Amino acid sequence: MSNTPLTPGIVSGRLVPEAYAHNFDDLEPVLDGHEAHVAADRCYFCHDAPCITACPTSIDIPLFIRQIATGTPEAAAKTIWDQNILGGMCARVCPTEELCEEACVREAAEGKPVEIGRLQRFATDRVMDKGVHPFTRAPATGKRVAVVGAGPAGLACAHRLAMHGHDVVVMDRRAKPGGLNEYGIASYKAPHGFAQREVEWLLQIGGITVQTGVELGRDVTLDALRADYDAVFLGIGLGGVNALRAAGEDLSNVRDAVDFIEELRQQPDKSKLGIGRDVVVIGGGMTAVDAAVQSRLLGAQNVTIVYRRGQEKMSASAHEQTHAQQVGVRIICNAAPVEVIGAGGAVSAVEFAYTEDGPEGLKLLADIFTLKADQVFKAIGQTLVAPDGLSGAKLDATPLARVWTGGDCAMGGEDLTVTAVAEGRDAAEAIHANLMGAVG
């Protein structure tokens, strides 16, 4: 007998097959030519445009939109990639409503910004679909750079370095390159293998060797890289996960949300994925939202996000929160887990205390409630696993000579794909200046 959303426990196949296909397809499909033309025409081509300032990679947005409006999406895509080589993925995952689109003057004028993200996707998809890669390499410099981490920061860094004529080796501990683009974002944001397609497209520039299954500290040391290469870029992301520090955390079916999201991304047949009937997600960031939304999309009957502070402090964007609520996720704020309650070794419920966020910090109140749960996802933040020779909550622009950092592992900037791209790109420019300045 097939399962339904009401089937108790963690089971797969809660939905009919078509529902999976629908739920995990593109949430927001690409604009067609006419839609893009209309959307592009809304751009006012602002002077010293606020959207450019708001973009961590400083894409010349008015220019690329004008290029779309005048029928040259190829030129538009080039404008985007000049600043952000992962513009295709950023068009899908950027919280545009908090970046470029928030700054758009039409947001001020009528509360409806130009659809910058969707226009960006229109242009980049058009050109990527043709397999065109509009960048070439400068003459070889003979310099070799090691890039650790094939996520957004590492890939952006590698591409820019290759463009400048350096030879790049990108290492990543996982089986596939892409980092969080491949393993860490919700499936419906970049379906149809987009992350891998984008990596393949990016590598068309040449001069980049990707080594997967290579982990810093296990397979190679930072010292060895420094000895073997002219420069090293670390874009290793955040490898650790914070613990709940609540009793019962070790019960089975209590899981890190990032692992769940990764498994989900890698499973082509979503109907094979087990999901609880009553799912509780603890945390308030994008990871929490992605885990909760996808739990619902897999057919969980009840999905609740519980966040210990007020809703305004959730790091997931308002747009993401709204989306979660639209798919039926309940969001409870100002409550922290006290105990994970088990039955037969597995989680059966979670007990929460309401909280008060005051000047002295977060205070647990005596007011307690319990949520039924056969599956719990922890999404309360990730931590840096620093390589030997470095330390800290985030990597500093490093005391080690000829080592650069970028992305989530690095100090400064938000933990966004687009920020990682900017940091990787800028590190590449710094490395290039350093290597070429050091000649002779």
Q: Yes or no: say if 103 and 93 are a contact pair by the CB < 8 Å rule.
A: no
Return the range that interacts with another protein (CB under 8 A); candidates 40-48, 133-141, 160-168, 294-302.
40-48
Give phi and psi for 198, each to the nearest 5: -70, -40
The binder of another protein chosen from 109, 343, 362, 368 (CB under 8 A): 109
Indicate which single residue of 41, 129, 388, 396 sits in contact with another protein (rule: CB under 8 A).
Answer: 41
Torsion of CA 171, 177, 183, 186, to 10 degrees: 140
Alpha helices (runs of H) in 204-347, residue ranges in sequence order? 222-228, 257-266, 286-297, 318-326
Residue 375: burial class (beta carbons within 10 Å; 0-12, 13-18, 19+): buried
46 binds another protein (CB under 8 A): yes
- Per CB under 8 A, 47 contacts another protein: yes
CA-nearest of 129, 102, 130 to 117 is: 102
User: What's the min distance (Å) between Cβ of 105 and another protein?
Assistant: 4
48 part of the interface to another protein, by CB under 8 A: yes
Q: Which of 50, 274, 342, 413 binds another protein (CB under 8 A)?
A: 50
Q: Please identify, using beta-carbon distances, which residue of 109 and 368 lies nearer to another protein.
A: 109
Q: Does 397 bind another protein (CB under 8 A)?
A: no
The answer to whether 55 contacts another protein (rule: CB under 8 A) is no
357-365 contact pairs (CB < 8 A, 24+): 357/309, 357/310, 357/313, 362/308, 362/309, 362/336, 364/336, 364/338
Query: According to the binding rule CB under 8 A, does residue 226 interact with another protein?
Result: no
Cβ of residue 50: shortest distance to another protein, in angstroms?
7
In the region spanning residues 160 to 199, those forming contacts with another protein, defined by CB under 8 A, are none
Neighbouring CB atoms inside 10 A of 263's CB total 13
Look up residue 395 and give its DSSP letter. B
| 112 makes contact with another protein (CB under 8 A) | no
**What angle separates helix 33-41 from helix 116-129, to the nearest 10 degrees?**
140
- Count residues near another protein (CB under 8 A): 17
Q: Determine, following the binding rule CB under 8 A, whether residue 137 of this chain makes contact with another protein.
A: no
Give 191's strand partners: none
We find the least distance from the C-beta atom of residue 316 to another protein, in angstroms, to be 28
The binding site for another protein (CB under 8 A) comprises 34, 37-38, 41-42, 44-50, 69, 105-106, 108-109
